[in-house]
Amino acid sequence: MSRFTLIALVAFLPLSSPAADSSQPSQVAMIDQMIEQGWENFEIKPAAVAEDEQWCRRAFLDIIGRIPTGAELEEFLEGSRHDRRRELVERLLHDDRYTEEYAGHWATTWTNILIGRSGGNDRRSMISRDGMQKYLRDSFARNKPYDTIVRELVTATGSTKPGTENFNGAVNFLVDKVNEEKAVLATSSTSRIFLGQQVQCTQCHNHPFNQWKQQMFWEFNSFFRQTRSLRRFVDGTRDIDHAELIDQDFAGEANQADDALIFYELRNGLTKVAYPVFTDGTEIPKSGFVSDVNRREELARLMLDSEYLDKMVVNRMWSMFMGYGFTKPVDDLGPHNPASHPELLEELGKAFRGSSYDLKQLITWITLSRPYGLAPVLGSANEIDDPSIGEMPKFSRFYLRQMSAEQLYQSMLTATDAASSGSYEEQEQERRRWLSQFVVAFGTDEGDEATTFNGSIPQALMLFNGDLTKKATDSGRGTYIDRLASSGKSPVDRLNYLFMNGLARRPSVNEKKVASALLRSRGGDEKEMLQDMWWAILNSNEFIMQH
């Protein structure tokens, strides 16, 4: 930078602010200020700033769902020291070469939120997982505003499966949830996922400790009662080919469509009546005729007006990047569940609405904030900041967390430069098969599920011995190890590369010693040593953790 431009730049800056902040959006300063206030209040000192390499790996994982390649890490380090972080975020969000990966990562993440990890895997399910992902991929690739996505998911009609007539992938969110048991699942999922309101208990009784009453559950439920899923079978069989989600006139349970009410039972057996009323008490006309009032359209309109929509999504996005949300669980914003930083939650929600729900802006604010850039170190000055033991998070360090199974899969492919073979569909099938090994169901009607990709033994076995690791450490012709072995100047060079590639850092003295011991143990066969070290890297906590 020439002297002249430096002076010119400084002239435009407020004196107190460091030069690096010149291009920061004001929302970043707001986050920093409110988080720092929390540190002050609790008299703690934050961890140091994370190493650039570590931060680069972190941002890749969080924004596009995989670790950087060696070349990408170099590209990052070539940027100006003051601005390389901002440049990287900009690149990951806006450079065409990352559009597909960005969209794929967020589509996968939201598919798991909307239909669970097992949605569409069961033969009886009407969901087309492909359809759901296609809709989301397209939406994220175009950076569709968040409120538009929500409206489309809540009001969608059409067919589930790509390639069929009237295809609209957004229907897959509700298609399995509206038919069974009077759309109970549609009610609880929609309110929980988009508004952070947990209502599942109030289906049968008033909630003992939140403000939701049984009446409100069935009023919210009434919005979904014009909606039906229709199965379309493979010709001449009873196998479901796909399904269609439609709105149709609802006569109500008293069979009077211009006053379409529903009944529900209190615990004492008394029957009560409900009409569509939004959670804030707003009523809509009682007609069940779609031409008079489309109940899901009305619901979407009311949801989009609600401040809970804003708070819920910023809380969710914050938790995805920071490891913890402002509330725990992240999708419960009820008054019984106080937030760690209520003011920031509210202001960030407003700012997000102010950006016209631009998810890429929200990601920029969070990733460029000070708390996101801290080292993952628990020290004596911030010892109390440990949410894993139940403390409210203070974001004074980056919290270690495990990658998701999806992130690990993509990272393993990246780390080994696995030339993708086969069509998108074939690769996707392979990925899905691999992911399905970690899903376990709880056997309830609500489709509750858990993952064994949680740091336990099955996961360790997979990383020790699984096909993915076998492929990654293979040393046959043209493989990653093979190519690595014939590159660079010296074994040390190649070892450096291996560590940079897997862990975004150089090997320590001890690690180099182990490598040379391995080399001798392998009778001087460097390829075998690289295989062993690569196996160790891929199995290390440092590889599998987001840090």
Partner 1 sequence: MTMNWQTPAGMTRRHFMQHLAGSSAAVTASMTMGNAIYANAEELKKNHKSAILLWMGGGPATIDIWDLKPGAATGGPFRPISTSGDLQICEHMPMVAQQMHNLSVVRSMSTREADHNRGRYYMHTGYVPNPNIEHPSYGSVIAHETLEQRPELEIPPFVSIGGASAGPGFLGMAWAPFSVTSNGRIRNLEMKLEDSRLRERMYALEMIETGFAKRTRDVPAYEHAKVLKKTFDLMTSSQMEAFRVEKEPEEVKERYGTDGFGQGCLLARRLVEAGVPFVEVDLGGWDNHNGIHTILKDNKLPQLDRAMSALVEDLEQRELLKDTVVIWMGEFGRTPRINQNAGRDHFARAWSCVVGGGDLKGGLAVGATNSDGTAVDTEPFSSEDLMTTVCKGLGISTEKTFTSKNGRPMKIAGGGKIISELV
Binding positions for partner 1, rule: CB under 8 A: 181, 200-201, 204-205, 208, 265, 269, 328-329, 337, 376-379, 386, 388-391, 400-402, 437, 440-446, 448-450, 452, 454-458, 460-462, 464-466, 503, 508-511, 513-518, 520-521, 532-533, 535-537, 539-542, 545, 547
3-state secondary structure of 283: strand
Q: Considering beta carbons, is residue 99 or 200 the nearer one to partner 1? A: 200
The least CB distance from residue 199 to partner 1, in Å, is 11
Q: Considering beta carbons, is residue 156 or 498 the nearer one to partner 1? A: 498
Q: Considering beta carbons, is residue 8 or 450 the nearer one to partner 1? A: 450
Q: Considering beta carbons, is residue 293 or 536 the nearer one to partner 1? A: 536
**Which among 30, 52, 27 is positioned nearest to 500, based on CA atoms?**
52
The least CB distance from residue 172 to partner 1, in Å, is 23
Q: Considering beta carbons, is residue 143 or 200 the nearer one to partner 1? A: 200
DSSP 8-state secondary structure symbol assigned to residue 442: -
| Residues counted in the chain | 547
CB 334 within 8 A of CB 198: yes
Contact partners, residue 80, CB within 8 Å, separation at least 6:
87
3-state secondary structure of 181: helix
The least CB distance from residue 99 to partner 1, in Å, is 33
Contact partners, residue 56, CB within 8 Å, separation at least 6:
68, 72, 73, 76, 77, 88, 504
Q: Considering beta carbons, is residue 279 or 382 the nearer one to partner 1? A: 382
Q: Considering beta carbons, is residue 105 or 547 the nearer one to partner 1? A: 547
Q: Considering beta carbons, is residue 180 or 239 the nearer one to partner 1? A: 180
Rounded Cα–Cα distance for residues 342 and 326 (Å) = 8
Q: Tell me the two tokens of residue 386.
A: 């440990």
The least CB distance from residue 119 to partner 1, in Å, is 16
* Residue with tokens 């929609």, as numbered in its chain: 190
| Phi, psi values for residue 246, rounded to 5° | -130, 160
The least CB distance from residue 376 to partner 1, in Å, is 5
The least CB distance from residue 480 to partner 1, in Å, is 17
**Which among 193, 169, 192 is positioned nearest to 202, based on CA atoms?**
192
* Residue with tokens 């070290």, as numbered in its chain: 533
The least CB distance from residue 266 to partner 1, in Å, is 11
Asked if the bond preceding 458 is cis, omega within 30° of 0, the reply is no
Q: Tell me the two tokens of residue 11.
A: 């002239």
CB 206 within 8 A of CB 191: no
The least CB distance from residue 341 to partner 1, in Å, is 16
Q: Considering beta carbons, is residue 30 or 377 the nearer one to partner 1? A: 377
Exposed e or buried b for every residue in 468-503, given b needs 16+ CB within 10 A?
A: bbeebbebeeebbbeebbeeeeebeebbbbbbbbbb
Cα–Cα distances in angstroms (integers) from residue 445 to residues 32, 164, 177, 181, in the given order? 43, 29, 11, 10
CB 118 within 8 A of CB 441: yes
The least CB distance from residue 422 to partner 1, in Å, is 23
**Which among 49, 63, 29, 87 is positioned nearest to 317, based on CA atoms?**
63
The least CB distance from residue 55 to partner 1, in Å, is 15
